Amino acid sequence: MKEGSGLKQSDPIHELLARAKTIAVVGQSERPMRPSHGVSAYMQAAGYRIIPVNPGIREALGEKSYPSLLEIPADAVKTIDLVDVFRRPEYVDEIVEQVIQLKIPAIWLQEGVINERAAEKARNAGIFVVVDLCVLKEHRARFG
C-alpha cells in the first residue's frame, strides 16, 4: 500500500465554503451583467447571506449595501465568515487592513485580483487567503 493512500486529502477551500454562512462582497454591483452580481446571486442561491460593500449603491440582491467594511454594523460584522473582493489589485491593501481590523477570518481575491504583498500581510495576521480564483467556480466544483 502506498504511503498516504486511503487518507482523505485536506481541502481548505472546501472547508471554508462548507462552514461559511455570510459573505461580504467588496465591489458588489447592482447591475446584473457585472461578474460581482452574477457570482453573488449564485452564492446567495446556494444559501449564503451576501452583504454588499460598495459606496456607489444602496442595495444589491435585496440586501442593504455599505460604503466600506468598516461601516457594516458591529453585530453584522461578527457574522461575516468571508470577504470576497471584486476590486482592482491596487485597492486590496486597504481592504486587507479593514479585514485585519475587523478580525474577519477569510478573504477571497477573485480571478485577476492579485496583490501578493496584501495577501501575505493577511496570512501573517492569521487570515485564510485565496488569490486569483472564482468563488463561484470553486463552489460549483466542490458542491455541484
For 43-99, write each residue's pLDDT tens digit: 999 999 999 999 999 999 999 999 999 999 999 999 999 999 999 999 999 999 999
* Predicted confidence band of residue 111 (pLDDT cuts 50, 70, 90): very high
What pTM value is reported for the model?
0.93
CATH number of 21-143: 3.40.50.720
Report d(CA 113, CA 88) in Å as an integer. Answer: 6
Report d(CA 129, CA 144) in Å as an integer. Answer: 23
Residue 139 has pLDDT above 90, yes or no: yes
Asked if 46 contacts 75 with a C-beta cutoff of 8 angstroms, the reply is no
DSSP sequence for 74-129: HHHHTT--EEEE-S-GGGHHHHHHHHHHHT-SEEEEPTT---HHHHHHHHHTT-EE
Q: Mean pLDDT, to the nearest integer, of 138-142?
A: 97
First to last CA, the chain: 31
Residue 109: its pLDDT value, please?
98
Residue 4: its pLDDT value, please?
47
Q: Mean pLDDT, to the nearest integer, of 19-38?
A: 96
Neighbour tally for 96: CB within 10 Å: 25
Residue 103 has pLDDT above 70, yes or no: yes
* Predicted confidence band of residue 100 (pLDDT cuts 50, 70, 90): very high
Residue 2 has pLDDT above 60, yes or no: no
Residue 1 has pLDDT above 70, yes or no: no
Report d(CA 13, CA 140) in Å as an integer. Answer: 12
Asked if 22 contacts 78 with a C-beta cutoff of 8 angstroms, the reply is no
Digit-coded pLDDT (tens) for 8-24: 679 999 999 999 999 99
Residue 31 has pLDDT above 50, yes or no: yes
